[in-house]
Amino acid sequence: MYSLVCIECGKKNDESRYTCECGGLLEVRFNLNEVEIDFKLDGREMRVWKYRSLLPIKSEPVTLKEGGTPLYRLERLEKELGIRRIYVKHEGLNPSGSFKDRGMTVGVTKALELRKRAVACASTGNTSASMAMYAAKAGLKAYVLLPAGKVALGKVAQALMHGADVIGIRGNFDDALRIVREVCERAGIYLLNSVNPFRLEGQKTIAYEIVDEIGTPDAVILPIGNAGNISAIFKGFEEFREIGLIDKIPRMIGIQAEGASPVFRAFREGREDIIPFENPETIATAIRIGNPVNAKKALRAVYRSEGLVEVVSDQEIISAQKILAKNGIGVEPASAASLAGLIKLSRIGEIDRDATVVCIATGNLLKDPETVIKVCGEPKMVEANVEKVMALLT
């Protein structure tokens, strides 16, 4: 029904591998003529496992009922930016508070199928929170490597409470990923970073759900960190088109933070691969990544969908985070990069006024309370006295 194929040399690989002998990334490829689609695109009962006939799992899934996240329409912003339809899909409302849960339900189930006892990842935070949660559900041991001092508090709290072994690395995410890849190889631990192709299979259901609810939009905008999610969502749309469920693919638009933007630079220069950033830096710690492992897949998705990659400043990110909050959508900084990108692109005329655009809000506001205090300030404080409180009403 499916095989694991190298995107560089086309060789079929064994399920237990993450990359090909030639070093290329692997991709799950379905024989779509043989797949029996058993779901209806009626916008109802959406969940990752609604689309099970297009997921590479034969066993009982380890699930926390992920997916089925709300798609909000931002009418005020449509008027302000002069764009016909703007939606935000709030992935921060998944069980652990980010889109990573879609990948982990598939990845952790695959770990059980492969009879692994332990799973591991390097993470800027959300991957570790999600993996810890799903490993707990599955009864697997979990190891997490984090760039010390650079992970938002809520994410560390989740990884700790759900019982992962949390190890801080004196280095950045890219160092942590390099180390965990070798540790997994040597210790026989199952690696659950997005270099694992099964994780991306779960994440492609973001595309399925968008189509299920509103049909095919003209553009999908999302932050790029390790570049897995944009690759996954593109794959989802491509599969639906190949099956004949839709007839076009939206422009895939990736947004990076200025201080961590190797994919943007490659796109600007028309290259197929990136030159890593040695010292990535941004307030959006989730996407503080200098050497994104899925860059080739992501650039392919952007070129093939006639999309683009843009950068935004930390200030633009925070400003977009506040706009989303004013619309009732609480997200962490990295998530707001998508709206920051839309605002920037609409101002320079890169987005058609007639377009339907979906921004992906990737993670929940509660993930990063410390940044909120930094940008909003501490709450006011007064004596326990009615007059004093009355005096503060504005």
What's the full length of the chain, in residues? 394
Span near ligand AN7 by CB under 6 A; candidates 13-21, 274-282, 328-336, 375-383: 328-336
Give the shortest CB-369-to-ligand AN7 separation in angstroms: 15
CB nearer to ligand AN7: pick between 74 and 206 = 206
Nearer to ligand AN7 by C-beta: 34 or 182?
182
Rounded Cα distance, 336 and 339, in Å: 5
Q: Which of 105, 205, 216, 226 binds ligand AN7 (CB under 6 A)?
A: 226
Nearest-approach distance from CB 389 to ligand AN7, in angstroms: 36
Distance of CA 273 to the CA centre of its chain: 20
Reference 347, options 77, 65, 66, 54; nearest CA is 77
Q: Is 225 in the site for ligand AN7 (CB under 6 A)?
A: yes
Q: Which of 282, 335, 346, 371 binds ligand AN7 (CB under 6 A)?
A: 335
**How far is 220 from 356, CA to CA, in rounded Å?**
9
Residue 394 pairs in a beta bridge with none
The H or E element containing residue 119 is: strand 118-122
2 phi/psi in degrees, rounded to 5: -145, 160
Amino acid letter, residue 176: A
Residues 108-127 vs ligand AN7: string with x where CB under 6 A? ---------------xxxxx
Is 227 a binding residue for ligand AN7 by CB under 6 A? The answer is yes
- Please choose, out of 10-18, 112-120, 218-226, 308-316, the segment that lies near ligand AN7 by the rule CB under 6 A: 218-226
Closest CA to 263 of 200, 204, 220, 311: 311
Beta-sheet pairing, 141-147 with 118-122: parallel
Cα angle: 357, vertex 360, 364; to 5 degrees? 145
Burial class (CB in 10 A: 0-12, 13-18, 19+), 369: middle
List binders of ligand AN7 among 15-74 (CB under 6 A).
none
Where are the strands (E) in 275-325, listed by range?
308-312
Binding of ligand AN7 by 338 (CB under 6 A): no
Site residues for ligand AN7, window 264-323 (CB under 6 A)? 286-287
Q: Write out the two tokens for 322.
A: 């506040």
Q: How many residues bind ligand AN7 (CB under 6 A)?
A: 21
**Nearer to ligand AN7 among residue 161 and residue 389 (C-beta):** 161
C-beta closer to ligand AN7: residue 3 or 313:
313
Per-residue x/- track, 157-196, ligand AN7 (CB under 6 A): -------------------------------------x--
CB of 59 to ligand AN7, least distance (A): 25
Closer CB to ligand AN7, 261 or 352, in the complex: 261
Closest CB 162 distance from ligand AN7, rounded Å = 14
d(CA 375, CA 384): 26
Helices (H), 139-260: 153-161, 173-187, 197-203, 205-214, 228-243
Task: Name residues whose C-beta falls within 8 Å of residue 363's C-beta, 6 or more positions apart in sequence.
Answer: 91, 92, 97, 98, 99, 126, 286, 331, 332, 334, 335
- What distance in Å separates the CA atoms of residue 110 and residue 3, rounded to the nearest whole number? 14
As measured in angstroms, the least distance from the Cβ of 115 to ligand AN7 is: 25
Candidates 301, 334, 336, 366; binder of ligand AN7 (CB under 6 A) is: 334
Stretch that binds ligand AN7, among 24-32, 275-283, 309-317, 331-339 (CB under 6 A): 331-339
103 lies in the site for ligand AN7, by CB under 6 A: no
> Is residue 341 within the footprint of ligand AN7 (CB under 6 A)?
no
From CA 168, how far away is CA 245, in angstroms rounded? 45
**Pair 367, 228: CB distance under 8 Å:** no
Instruction: Tell me whether residue 196 or residue 229 sits nearer to ligand AN7 (CB atom).
Output: 229
Distance from CA of residue 181 to its chain's centroid? 20
Mark 347-366 with x for binding to ligand AN7 (rule: CB under 6 A) and - for no binding. ---------------xx---
Amino acid 259 reads: G
Interface of this chain with ligand AN7, residues 81 to 100, rule: CB under 6 A: 98
Residues that bind ligand AN7 (CB under 6 A): 98, 123-127, 194, 223-229, 286-287, 332, 334-335, 362-363
